[in-house]
Amino acid sequence: MDKDSIQNHLEALINRDNTAQEMVYKHYYRYGMSVCLRYTSSREEAVEVLNDSFLNVFTKIEQYDSSRDFKPWFRRILINNAINHAQRHVMKAKLIQIEDLSFQPKSDLTSDGDLDYQEMIELTRSLSPMYRTVFNLYVIEGFSHEEISNALQISIGASKSNLSRARCNLREMIIGKYQKGVAKYG
Amino acid sequence: MDDQELDDLFRKAVKEPDIQFVPDDWKKMQEKLDGKGKGVAAKNLSKYLYGIGALLFLFAVSWVLIAVDFTGEFKSLDSNNRREVAIETNDLPNPSREKTGATVQTSDLPNTSDLPQKGIETAKDLSPESNTYSETGSPYPGMGAGKINDFAAYEKQELLENSALGSDNFTQSETIENHLILEKVRKPELSTLSIRENSWLIDSGVNRNTMVTKSSIDSQTFPEEIVKTSGRKIKGQSKLAVLAVFSPDASALKINEIQGLGANAGLNLEYFIHANWSLNLGVLYAFKTYQSPSGYQGSYGNVYDLSGNCYILDIPLNVRYYAVNGDRDRWYASTGLSSYLMLREKYDLSYESSTGYPKEFQLDIKNQNQHYLTIVNLSVGYERHLSDNLGIQVEPYLKIPYSGVGEGDVNLKSAGVLIGLKYRW
């Protein structure tokens, strides 16, 4: 879908045009899921967050400034919903699902020692929701600890601590499970 | 691997998402769009309806109980008394008839020796003129008008006292009914005569009529033993009372896991819908602390230790029944529903990770969870009167949620003893 076409669909969202909604959904699905999967414990949760975000897009499209790129606005919505989701589900032991389950990598690291997307998702899902959220916000989204503390309503110290523990856990898992693949980092 | 290398590893992976579109996800999205949050709204609506239904049920139950109570009291009235009261209602004063004393039954007249001493003394202070009028107009040989006048005052005082009786044997409605009868007797005369004439009439005919009513009520409708056993008289008190309460609070998920004490403090407004029944609306700031060392069962696994500290706005709405009314104290039972507005929830969770090492994390959640009318309150209490307006209460209570409380939807039960200072206007 070319840029003009998607822009037309975005504008048509104001009229609650169902075809436009479907086109926009399909066009930004991959991007949206790539964000949501990183913040959630399962694909089902990721879809839930994604659809909540699209619902916000479709119902609050008037707030979108069409002179600017859509992605950053959409990304912000995705992250806000992901944070809300993490906060609401953090105690409901979704994290235990992953932490309690033994980590079962589907494949080794790629031959050059890099992670593919699926491996990265599996690793981050091993973290508790709070660690995972802080790690994603800091490392992937580029939030500062102050911004994270505001977003998650935790102290800056807690943000730093969670990030440190998240890194430690990830490092431990990578070294332990992928000793061969990450030998060059050892 | 240092932090920078680790971060770069993940940043690089993010750039290559391999995600295929799944048509079912769009179907879910369409369902969401069709509903536009209808599901959420319906969920919330059902909660509200459930709460409203529970409230209506409480009101209905209390109303039925009150109605039964009133019926019982009416039945307790002797049918002859009711007929006599009805006759008195129709027997509006007729000055000419009263002067003849045609309707007066001497057997119903009060014994003058029973009149209050104060009234007799007052009679001595009356002017000769007044005495002349009274003696001339009095239909009762040997009874001075001053005595009659004072009897009216005595009777009025009695009525005022009776109107505030709060017992089973003497309901407010009956008092009001009798009071209205007497008012109907008085008013026509007061509105048509001068003050002097009015005074004379009160001394003679009107009061005579009133006396008949009073004597009937005293001798039959409200026999002496009933008045004596009617419990504590609440003189001139309104239907409203306010209560400042404090309570230690023990909360736990399981009864054998009580560790540490929280506290409640707040205000309770009590509205008496009947002498023995009241509605209570409170606002309590509650701190509840609990631990679950045996493990909070999560959705997918065990949390091996849970420690929670919750700051809650507890809004109870209860119905209270005063079962035992003594001269100085009362016993009551209370039930109703509470709403919990979770102001802040702080949790410490620890669990065993796949590596075998214990993992810990903390949660700090603010204003995320509200539970409307989902906590059942049960309590019994003892109230001791300190004065006409002041009282102290001790009320052991139990709070049991019928749906999950807080972020973890836990079955958080609470118990404690509310200690309150009550003021009733």
Both structure tokens of B192: 């048509």
Q: What separation in angstroms does the CA of B306 have from each of A142, B311, B414?
A: 32, 16, 17
A30 vs B contacts (CB less than 8 Å): 17, 19, 21
Query: Is the pLDDT confidence value at B399 over 80?
Result: yes
Nearest CB to B407: which of A30, A91, A99? A91
pLDDT reading at B94 higher than 70? no
Return the SS3 of B117: helix
Which among A50, A95, A140 is the top mutation candidate for probing chain B, defined by the most B β-carbons within 10 Å of its own β-carbon?
A95
What's the rounded Cα separation, in Å, for the pair B211 and B214?
A: 5
Q: Decide if pLDDT at B414 tops 80.
A: yes
C-alpha–C-alpha distance, residues A106 and A155, integer Å: 36
Q: Which residue of B has its CA nearest to A101?
A: B354
- Provide the pLDDT for residue B46: 57
Q: How confident is the model at residue B295 (pLDDT cuts 50, 70, 90)?
A: low
Q: How far is A76 from chain B (nearest CA, A)?
A: 17
A4 falls in which pLDDT band (50, 70, 90)?
confident
Q: Which of A52-66, B117-131, B391-405 has the highest mean pLDDT?
A: B391-405
Mean pLDDT (whole number) for A30-42 = 88
Task: Give the nearest chain B residue to A182 (CA atoms).
Answer: B1
The minimal CB distance from A99 to the residues B7, B29, B359 is found for: B359
Does residue B140 carry a pLDDT above 60?
no
Task: Give dist(CA B316, CA B324) in Å, integer.
Answer: 23
Q: Is the pLDDT of residue B83 over 60?
A: no
Per-residue model confidence as pLDDT tens digits over B237-259: 688 999 999 999 999 888 777 88
Residue A14 is predicted with a pLDDT of 85
Does residue B254 contact residue B43 with C-beta atoms inside 8 Å? no
Interfacial B residues in 388-417 facing A (CB < 8 Å): 407-409
Is there a contact between A167 and B3 if contact means CB atoms under 8 Å apart?
Answer: yes
Q: The tokens 């003849």 sit on which residue?
A: B100
Chain B residues within 8 A of A101 when measuring between CB atoms: 300, 354
Q: Is A159 exposed, middle or buried (0-12, 13-18, 19+ CB in 10 A)?
A: buried
**Do residue B407 and residue A92 have CB atoms under 8 angstroms apart?**
yes
B-chain CB neighbours of A97 within 8 Å are 299-301
pLDDT at site B278 = 94
| Residue found under tokens 């969202």 | A13
Query: Can you tell me the ipTM of this complex?
Result: 0.79
- The mean pLDDT value for B67-89 works out to 43
Question: B322-351: b or e for each residue (b if 16 or more CB lie within 10 Å)?
Answer: beebeeeebebebebbbbbbbbebebebeb
For the residues B12-36, what does the mean pLDDT come to? 81
Read off the pLDDT band of B88 (50, 70, 90): very low
Chain A neighbours among B 28-57 (CB < 8 Å)?
A: 28-29, 32-33, 36-37
pLDDT of B263 above 90: yes
The confidence score (pLDDT) of residue A1 equals 67
Size of interface A-B (CB pairs under 8 A): 153
Q: Which helix (H) or strand (E) holds B422?
A: strand B413-424
Q: Which band of pLDDT confidence, cut at 50, 70 and 90, is reported for residue A98?
A: very low
Contact map slice: B 333-352 vs A, CB within 8 A:
347, 349, 351-352
Question: Distance, in angstroms, between B247 CA and closest chain A CA?
Answer: 29
Q: What is the mean pLDDT of chain B?
A: 67
Residue A92 and residue B19: Cβ atoms within 8 Å?
no
Selecting from A94, A117, A126 the residue whose C-beta is nearest the C-beta of B17 gives A117
Q: What is the pLDDT of residue A120?
A: 82
- Chain A neighbors of B353, CB-CB under 8 A: 99-100
Q: Are A136 and A123 in contact (CB under 8 A)?
A: no
pLDDT bracket for residue A12 (50, 70, 90): confident
Residue B26: pLDDT above 50?
yes
**Rounded average pLDDT over B373-389:** 92
- Percent of chain A, pLDDT > 70? 80
> Does the pLDDT of residue B296 top 60, yes or no?
no
The pTM of this model reads 0.40
In this predicted structure, the answer to whether residue B72 has a pLDDT above a threshold of 90 is: no
Cβ distance B33 to A92 less than 8 Å, yes or no, reads no
Averaged over A99-121, what is the pLDDT?
55
pLDDT at B326 over 60: yes
Q: What is the pLDDT of residue B265?
A: 95
- Higher-confidence residue: B45 or B97? B45
> What are the tens digits of pLDDT across the range A68-88?
888 889 998 999 888 888 777
